[in-house]
Structure 1
């Protein structure tokens, strides 16, 4: 597991002892999620299950993750089966972060929106820079964060999750910390991460794995919500009218209510 991404790769990984740093790395696409990124992240997390004590998910300095790659989605026709496969892969990846036998940390800098919030909410701990922002703008396009919602509710509660979805506005790092979406913020988030790792590396790997299995056994809500979330996501992303709105936004930057 090296520190450089080969040509075509969508992630950069680095191993430091029993800590895996997994950087989402699609600078040419603003770090948006596509099928390759999901597959590569999934492969890294499967490997980490055998040896990692901590997995740190990072983005680029100015954007963690904006959600789905709308430019890529606009190039294909609406397809419910394809949308379902994508949603299944996304939800499954987040379950790996949540249930894996390691401590997952989201190290957030810059903007996070849509599916990027799902990566954050799925992690055990969230550490962010003071200027990070979090937003769920899906309803503006007639969508909803169907796969994000179960993870977000578990992290911040129903009321906060619904407020984020309905308001569609960005939430600041201090507000995210107050709501429980972030665990800690700092101007120097890299140093914040280093301080946390000093403590977390003291925890035995077998104890982490046992604890996470036990915690999952107390509430299987995320597993129970999987089929509903995938179905809802597939229905929305395969709707032709919604697809046209997303394609227009990807091509022009104009929101659905703006006149052409």
Structure 2
């Protein structure tokens, strides 16, 4: 198991096979700075090859998930000038966030977002690339970019993938803010908790389900799901059949079928590493 990187904007805690990332800038409602983007990217790069980590929980400190981009970084970019052959500072700022959110989206780990308070802009995008999203009773979701005279450039494609073009148009073009119940109806989150206790119980249940699922099979399944709609179906199914054959003959497939026949939990269900 690799040691976790030192971070200034994130708190990292490992609980068995689960890594909990707490966005820790409560004084600015966990607004996403360039440093935070870089630290999130570093963490996800490092854990990608760590087989001991099977899921990542992302949540925010101080009652908020993430209020969007850091205005100070935008102001700093405004004061910079691109040198000869360099990209525009605003382009670099925006694109760095897009690369990070794509990385989280494509991570082989199960990503669980626990959303409370402000879930805006970049925070909204982060919720939309999670595999499991749970909202607390205080959560407010929105794409306020157009009300600020800017555009949701990097998150819009992921929002469309999450909830479809029709609903994404309404949210983005009106700059709406919605509560947890509406976010659940739209499919932004999967569950809306009625209390803090309810939220923690939902998270605990999700983590327990992660433990029941074989880690390599889970990662392969996530990768397969991401390919749907981007490749010709016949070729995709051919490749999926090959991966199925590898899985069922592999160590996890052997253990899973044996455990089923013997009416016992599979080895990975008790994984505490």
Partner of 2:145: 138
Tell whether the 8 Å contact from 2:26 to 2:62 is kept in structure 1 after alignment: no
- Which TM-score applies when normalising by structure 1? 0.78
Tell whether the 8 Å contact from 2:23 to 2:61 is kept in structure 1 after alignment: yes
Partner of 2:94: 87
Equivalent residue pairs, number: 218
2:220 maps to 1:210: yes
The structural deviation recorded for 1:11 is 0.5
Tell whether the 8 Å contact from 2:74 to 2:90 is kept in structure 1 after alignment: no
Q: How does 1:152-191 map to 2 (within 5 A)?
A: 152-186=159-193, 187-188=195-196, 189-191=199-201
Partner of 2:23: 24
Deviations 1:59-83 (A, max 9, x none): 1242111111103322442656222
Tell whether the 8 Å contact from 1:53 to 1:102 is kept in structure 2 after alignment: yes
Partner of 2:64: 63
- Which TM-score applies when normalising by structure 2? 0.75
Give the structure, 1 or 2, with the largest relative contact order (CA under 8 Å, sep 6 or more): 1
The structural deviation recorded for 1:200 is 1.6
The structural deviation recorded for 1:210 is 0.8
Q: Which has the larger radius of gyration?
A: 2
The structural deviation recorded for 1:179 is 0.4
Does the residue aligned with 1:31 lie in a helix, a strand or coil?
coil
The structural deviation recorded for 1:208 is 1.3
Partner of 1:227: none
2:129 maps to 1:119: no
- Once residues 23 and 219 of structure 1 are traced to their aligned partners in structure 2, the CA distance between those partners, rounded to angstroms, is 33
Tell whether the 8 Å contact from 1:60 to 1:109 is kept in structure 2 after alignment: no
Unaligned runs of 5+ in 1: 222-260
- Once residues 156 and 100 of structure 2 are traced to their aligned partners in structure 1, the CA distance between those partners, rounded to angstroms, is 15
Tell whether the 8 Å contact from 1:107 to 1:126 is kept in structure 2 after alignment: yes
Partner of 1:73: 74
Tell whether the 8 Å contact from 1:61 to 1:109 is kept in structure 2 after alignment: no
Deviates more, 1:83-92 or 1:34-43: 83-92
- Once residues 83 and 72 of structure 1 are traced to their aligned partners in structure 2, the CA distance between those partners, rounded to angstroms, is 9
Partner of 1:40: 39
Q: How does 1:241-256 map to 2 (within 5 A)?
A: none
